Structure 1
Amino acid sequence: MASHPSYEQSKQVAEASRETEWSKPSFGKELFLGNFRLDLIHPQPQPDAAAVEKGEAFLDSLRVFLTDRVDRQQIERDARIPDGVLQGLKELGALGMKIPEEYGGWG
């Protein structure tokens, strides 16, 4: 895939990343259905150390961006997110959380 994919290519990747079959039970879904499945969330699984490091680095970048460049009151007042904020989130990779890494997302 090109380093600057077209809208259609991007859309195909996004659509392909959707979950089509729910093979694992969901705590939230079970709770909604009235089933308290504590076994689905406890004990919490230990994440991979590299994934934790990558996630914490992303969160640090996101925190700095939100603190330095986002005017929450303006967003509340105008009832819209400015284009600059969306562009900044895009540059951070926040809009590609489920996109596979080989296509420039976070996986």
Structure 2
Amino acid sequence: MKPLFIPLNTEYYEAFEDGSKTEELRIYGPRWNLETCREGRPVILSKGYGKQNRMKGRIWKFKKQHGSLFGSTYKASIQAVYGTLDVDIACISITDLEPVSL
């Protein structure tokens, strides 16, 4: 199965890199859903779209959840990015991260 490509802003890439972040939130839809984010699917995390800073891992858990049902920290992030909590969110849990050597 082809790895799911997940481009990230620097701060979020570094949080995955240091282990303080294990979940990525995206708006639920055609790109981020139960079919595309199947448990066990390999992923490539990338700092932006360049090829220099990448990690590989796999999805170990996926859930679709309404934005209003998350805890306060995630709610603040969802509100900041999407301008509302009235959205369905794809919550992608990623494990087994390791650097990709070019």
TM-score by length of 2: 0.20
Structure 1 or 2: more helix by fraction: 1
Pair member with larger Rg: 1
TM-score (norm 1): 0.20
Q: Which has the higher contact order (CA 8 A, sep 6+)?
A: 2
Name the structure with the higher strand share: 2
